[in-house]
Structure 1
């Protein structure tokens, strides 16, 4: 795993068709049609990802069509997500659009639809007992 000093950038004028695997941090301002697996992902406002995202940390502000799995996920107000989201900690800014189900990491296979949303709400309520999983709504 990278020590945090290395990162790669996909510029706004770049379209990648295919999967991306990186052991470093990745900043996407362009378009990716394929899956992304990386240590940390920062998605720019004008960018688009059509595929699955797997990252330790992800900060999303563009358009994502596909499943997202991240330990620490921040969804900014400009983000539009179409797909299911698995997380350990989750922050969503007011104004973000998410069309999919939320489930804590490890619970995705057991929870579906309303159950997943109820489970996410329970995660907030149980945050004092389970400090490792939490969901917050940012103002």
Structure 2
């Protein structure tokens, strides 16, 4: 997307979170999600085949991110799970571990955490999705 070559078919935007919008809580989406604003919570793609997340330069996510296709140019404070394709643009900043199948990283992008390659990421995304759905974020009980 940023490199001028269209490598994925994930340009459709079904949901837009504007630059002045702020969401607190977990966000589950299908189709294409474009974030220009802030999300305080986990972001999860319900559709594990074609869902795509675009995080713009001014966008910020404080929580885990799970989606098959991601194009990140903003800040993520949390682990990132991309089962198909992850593209980190020049202004991408990730403070957390990155689990990926295919990774593109532009000069200037920053990852402060581990890079973990996972082949055939769809089943792992399904496992992460189940863990995400069963996880009670507000619970004080021990796991």
TM-score by length of 2: 0.69
Q: Which is higher, the Rg of structure 1 or of structure 2?
A: 1
CA gap of 1:34–1:79, structure 2 versus 1, over 3 A, is: same
- Alignment match, 1:94: 107
Higher strand share: 1
- Alignment match, 1:84: 97
- Alignment match, 2:19: 12
Whole-Å separation in 2 of the counterparts to 1:75 and 1:101: 15
Whole-Å separation in 2 of the counterparts to 1:32 and 1:78: 18
Whole-Å separation in 2 of the counterparts to 1:46 and 1:75: 14
Question: Is 2:73 the partner of 1:61?
Answer: yes
CA gap of 1:13–1:26, structure 2 versus 1, over 3 A, is: same
Which of these residues, 21, 37, 54, is aligned with residue 30 of structure 1? 37
Aligned residue pairs: how many?
105
By how many angstroms is 1:48 displaced? Answer: 0.6
Whole-Å separation in 1 of the counterparts to 2:81 and 2:67: 6
By how many angstroms is 1:6 displaced? Answer: 5.7
TM-score by length of 1: 0.71
Moved over 4 A (4+): 3-6
SS at match of 1:58: strand
Q: Is the 8 A contact 1:69 1:105 kept in 2?
A: no
Which residues of structure 1 form unaligned runs of 5+? Answer: 107-139
Whole-Å separation in 2 of the counterparts to 1:47 and 1:96: 15
CA-to-aligned-CA distance 1:22-69 (integer Å, 9 cap, x gap): 122100000000000121100010111000000010000001100000
What is the root-mean-square deviation of aligned Cα atoms in Å?
Answer: 1.9
Which residues of structure 2 form unaligned runs of 5+? Answer: 1-9, 46-50, 120-143
Q: Is the 8 A contact 2:13 2:34 kept in 1?
A: no
Whole-Å separation in 2 of the counterparts to 1:6 and 1:61: 16
